[in-house]
Amino acid sequence: MSSATIRDVAREAGVGVGTVSRVLNNHPSVRESTRTRVETAIASLNYAPSPIARQLSLGKSSNIAVVAPFFIRPSFVERLRGVETVLAEYKYDLVLYNVETQEKRDELFRSLPRGDMFDGLLILTLAPDDDEAQRLIGSGVPAVLIDAHHPGLNRVNIDDVRGGYLATKHLIDLGHRRIAYVSDVLESPFQLDGASARRFSGYRQALAEAGIDYRSEYYLQGHHGVREAQQMANALLALPEPPTAIFAASDTQAIGVLRAVEEHGLTVAEDVSVVGFDDIEVAEYLKLTTIHQPLFTSGVEGAELLIQLLSKQAIAGEHATQINLPLRLVERQTTAPPRTRA
């Protein structure tokens, strides 16, 4: 069946366990003849070392925890792929934690930092509060945030304010003046990273710069999701003076907006322009104009930063590094100049 131990191998090869351990770890000081003897013993017993025992002895686990909310979001999947790529390269195992409730969140932030269970932590889209952050850095477990902010913690993210600005500016340059913003809900009891809020301020900044008054009826919040966004857009389009352009906080939400536009018998771009955020894969198929952010790359960068931290003998107290990824507008076919007034 299973589990031959190192001792069995030692006996079989007629050597001590120490020697077996040495060949296992490619220790130079072991005679070639005994090495081969041990190796054949290993092969014949079909032996494989126990990772767990190894971990206990070594004090490291060689696996890193990835915690993230909302599995479903395409943007998360892209990031995760990036993470997986580099973790696999460095032979780290990826343990995945999904967090969709406040309780699970608390539980995780309490248990993760302790324990020798993980060599490192990767946290996606979840901004720790000050307490949690303190505990994290205090625990000495290297951690990096991806798509989340916290001063004092290593992190890779984007300039959301600029993203909001870019999207809005594009619409303004096209000639739009009545521009709405469909946002995630800002005040979540569940602490996400307030990207929507920052994009909102970029939106207002662009508006102000162009001398366009901000209108609160053009600013709607709702839970993340196609359906919710569709409803918001419906409300917008039903306004006495509906917007001629809508900026959605994510591509997913932009899809909802697109549907609402169709539902109203209007045509996208011609009647109302739509711009999204993220540039997930479907955005291309939908020909959605959007703000591209490096999703896959964010995962790669975050994981690499973590690996680097891991090797660096954990010089705590070092100030946290921040990696900022570039943003750019991808112009496709859902934006156009506003229809000229009849």
Tell whether residue 114 is a contact of a second copy (CB under 8 A).
yes
For a second copy, the closer CB: 220 or 257: 257
Stretch that binds DNA, among 20-28, 99-107, 208-216, 252-260 (CB under 7 A): 20-28
Specify the residue for token string 């366009």: 212
Q: Does position 224 bind DNA by CB under 7 A?
A: no
Is residue 139 near DNA by the rule CB under 7 A? Answer: no
d(CA 145, CA 303) in angstroms, rounded, equals: 10
Asked whether the beta carbons of 287 and 334 are under 8 A apart, the reply is yes
CB 35, min distance to DNA, A: 7
**For DNA, the closer CB: 23 or 288:** 23
What gap in Å lies between CA 169 and CA 167, rounded to an integer? 5
Contact stretch for DNA (CB under 7 A) within 56-64, 91-99, 291-299, 318-326: 56-64
CA angle 193, 194, 195 (to 5 degrees): 100
What share of residues in the chain are helix, strand, coil (percent, to 5)? Answer: 45, 20, 35
Would you give the binding string for a second copy spanning residues 222-241, x where CB under 8 A is met?
----x---------------
What are the counts of helices (DSSP H) followed by strands (DSSP E) for the chain?
A: 13, 12
- Choose from a second copy, DNA, none: what does 151 bind? Cβ within 5-8 Å by kind: none
How far is Cα 292 from Cα 309, in angstroms, rounded to an integer?
28
Which one of 138, 151, 152, 326 is in contact with a second copy (CB under 8 A)? 138
Q: Does 311 bind DNA (CB under 7 A)?
A: no
The answer to whether 330 touches 284, Cβ cutoff 8 Å, is no
- Contact stretch for DNA (CB under 7 A) within 52-60, 73-81, 103-111, 322-330: 52-60
Interface segment toward a second copy; rule CB under 8 A; list 33-41, 70-78, 164-172, 334-342: 70-78
Least distance (Å) between residue 172 CB and a second copy: 28
Question: Using CA atoms, how far apart are residues 116 and 297, in angstroms rounded to an integer?
Answer: 28
CB of 111 to DNA, least distance (A): 13
| Sequential DSSP letters for 83-144 | HHHHHHHTT-EEEEEE--SHHHHHHHHHHSSSSSS-SEEEEESB---HHHHHHHHHHT--EE
17 binds DNA (CB under 7 A): yes
Q: Which position among 1, 31, 46, 189 is part of the footprint of DNA (CB under 7 A)?
A: 31
Structure tokens given for 211 = 């001398």
Tell me the window of 43-51, 211-219, 300-308, 318-326 that interacts with a second copy (CB under 8 A): 43-51
The two beta strands, 328-330 and 289-292, are antiparallel
- Chain-centre distance for alpha carbon 89: 19
Give the whole-angstrom CA distance, residue 184 versus residue 187: 9
Residues that bind DNA (CB under 7 A): 3, 5-7, 14-19, 21-22, 24-25, 29-31, 33-35, 49-50, 53-54, 56-59, 116
